[in-house]
Structure 1
Amino acid sequence: MQHETSEPQTRPRFGCLAGDLAAATISASVVAPAVTIIDRAIVEKSSFNQPLFRGLHAHAMVALKRPAPFVFHRPFGIAWTLYAATYSVANGADTVGRALQPSAVGTIGFLSTTLVNVPLAVWKDLSFAQAYGIKPSTTSKNQISAMQAASVRNPAVLRAATAIFVVRDGVTIFGSFTLAPRLSAAHPQAKPVITQLTVLVLTQLVATPIHLLGLDLYTRQKRVPFSDRLVQSQRYLPSSIVLRCVRIIPAFGVGCLLNLELRSFFHARL
């Protein structure tokens, strides 16, 4: 008798989790191409002054003309994994939290999403810096491989760059999960979606300089004065801020909204 009553209760829950996973997978697939192209262009601009719009155009054309190599290239897989995992955990935490502890669903979602998103985002940024931080046209393949291997084997650089990227993500997470909801509550006449996107864009004014410093530390591993590193890393700050603000739209705007809509769609049919 107990088994008969528990089975109908578990079916909708597992069905909703399947919908959560499907929504996250589709949303990540939509977001990952734009994020991959933009983040690569930012790394190349910061590392060897590759013009941003030239890089964006070139990488977008490659993605359009040769979609299979682009999709199955490791950087795309890393970006896709980041957002698929983030959306999946956010969705699943909300579903499970509402079923088990509705009063704590916000805290559960925030902590679980942060624990997944931050290390994956750092992994993505370090991987992009390793893959795209060296100019191919002026460096042989053997030199590139040696430099990439050296960067992987340098634990001091890895720890410092990781710490900087964690601080950067902390700024974005604070804006998304703390500042934006408070502003929405203080100004109920404003649409939450507009507030969320506005705050996330404004956080890039703080997060982008930190991001560029982390990239400079990872790509220039020689000993240099901190003041020189700071000046060098911020040379392209205005254009990088603009691009990272634009990047927020697919990652946290289109992706999050699409994920929510698909999740609601699947939940209504499961």
Structure 2
Amino acid sequence: MSQQLMQSEKNTWGKGQVLAAVLAGDVAAATISATVISPILTVIDRSVVENAAPANQHLLSTLRTNILNSVRRPRLLFATKPFLYMWTLYAATYTTANTVESIGTAITAGADRILISSITFISTCLVNVPLGVWKDVRFVQTYGRSVEQVKFSKMVGNTRPVASPTRSTYPARATSSSRTVAATFLFRDAITIFGSISLPPMLSSAVSAPDPLIPDPSTKNAAIQIFTPVLSQVVATPLHLLGLDFYTSPEGSSVERTQRIKSALLPTTAIRCARIIPAFGIGMVMNTWLRDCFHGQVRGSDSP
């Protein structure tokens, strides 16, 4: 009897050790993936925020300048707080998705995949959405400029941020409009997550019939998984620009706000459609591949 009890405790401890190793692999995969994609995402988001206020430069010109500066001085990019904000967002998102799925699989022995997927989705949303809003608010606080600041910069012949007479009132205005900005970004993130996680499986089920254009089901599902998040940005980008404009011009009129959003809509939509590919495409593929590799090593070391 005592031998059976000792064997049971040994098996339980062994399972605990395996789960701990699996979770360590989950965290490692999430950390590496977030580190790889965060630099380009930081550059893109910075360019979009800097271009949200009226300026002489076009978005593509701003993006090109920021990319060249990051390539020439990469240490400065990795040392900035915005990079840390971006890295925290995706490291936490990937880590949550990985660990919740692993724990759910261990508890249910993989018996209820629908339950595991639902819990993973809800947990990921609870982490991603508030962190995404937090990241965007920090970005506009770091790189955003009010209309008064832009006017003053042009008066002194400088298109980059400079100290202006209205600088002292800028934080107070940003604070007063922070709730509106956060709510706008929250709605934007809800659309992005729905288009990236919930909608692709629904579309895959709806078009599961044989298709002469794309006969391979796996290829069709992969195309849906890649392009559906991209197309979701057509709806999410106006909300993104609206949130930025609420921050940079909290007292602007609706007509002026609409004109600013319309002028930046097409290039910003194109940039955000491209941005979603590393965030929910390359990043997720890399995270999944690394996670499978780490899990394979754990299973190999655990086998007799």
TM range (shorter): over 0.9
Match of residue 258 from structure 2 = 230
Distance 2:184 2:137 in 1: 11
1:33 aligned onto 2:39: yes
Distance 2:165 2:12 in 1: 61
Equivalent of residue 239 in structure 1, options 260, 264, 267: 267
Listed as ranges, the matches of 1:111-122 within 5 Å are 111-122=122-133
Equivalent of residue 59 in structure 1, options 50, 53, 66: 66
Distance 1:144 1:34 in 2: 32
| Greater mean alpha carbon deviation, residues 228-237 or residues 34-43 | 228-237
Deviation, structure 1 residue 51: 1.5
| Secondary structure of 1:82 counterpart | helix
Deviation, structure 1 residue 59: 1.1
1:9 aligned onto 2:15: yes
1:251 aligned onto 2:271: no
Match of residue 239 from structure 2 = 210
Distance 1:74 1:145 in 2: 21
RMSD between superposed Cα atoms in Å: 1.8
Distance 2:121 2:165 in 1: 42
| Greater mean alpha carbon deviation, residues 231-240 or residues 6-15 | 231-240
Q: Which structure's CA Rg is the greater one? A: 2
Deviation readout 1:199-239 (Å, 9 max, x if unpaired): 111111100001100100011122x3334323322321011
| Secondary structure of 1:234 counterpart | helix
Deviation readout 1:92-133 (Å, 9 max, x if unpaired): 111011112342111111011000000111111111111111
CA contact (8 A) 1:183 1:195 kept: yes
Listed as ranges, the matches of 1:17-96 within 5 Å are 17-49=23-55, 50-96=57-103
Equivalent of residue 171 in structure 2, options 149, 157, 165: 149
Equivalent of residue 188 in structure 2, options 156, 168, 171: 168
Change (3 A) 1:148 1:77: farther
CA contact (8 A) 1:131 1:148 kept: no
Structure 2 gaps, min length 5: 1-5, 209-216, 299-304
| Greater mean alpha carbon deviation, residues 11-20 or residues 171-180 | 171-180
| Greater mean alpha carbon deviation, residues 177-186 or residues 23-32 | 177-186
| Greater mean alpha carbon deviation, residues 160-169 or residues 100-109 | 100-109
Change (3 A) 1:147 1:72: farther
CA contact (8 A) 1:168 1:211 kept: yes
CA contact (8 A) 1:130 1:151 kept: no
In structure 1, give the amino acid aligned to 2:248. T
Deviation readout 1:26-49 (Å, 9 max, x if unpaired): 100111011001111111121133
CA contact (8 A) 2:52 2:245 kept: yes
Distance 1:145 1:228 in 2: 22
Q: How does the TM-score come out when normalised to structure 1?
A: 0.93
Distance 2:33 2:165 in 1: 37
Q: Report which of the two has the higher share of helix.
A: 1
Percent identity (aligned): 40
Distance 1:11 1:148 in 2: 53
Deviation, structure 1 residue 179: 1.2
| Greater mean alpha carbon deviation, residues 163-172 or residues 226-235 | 226-235
Deviation, structure 1 residue 144: 8.1
Equivalent of residue 184 in structure 1, options 188, 204, 225: 204
CA contact (8 A) 1:213 1:234 kept: no
Deviation, structure 1 residue 15: 0.6
Distance 2:10 2:74 in 1: 49
CA contact (8 A) 2:174 2:247 kept: no
CA contact (8 A) 2:93 2:128 kept: yes
In structure 1, give the amino acid aligned to 2:249. R
CA contact (8 A) 2:237 2:272 kept: yes
In structure 2, give the amino acid aligned to 1:246. A
Distance 1:73 1:48 in 2: 25
| Secondary structure of 1:191 counterpart | helix
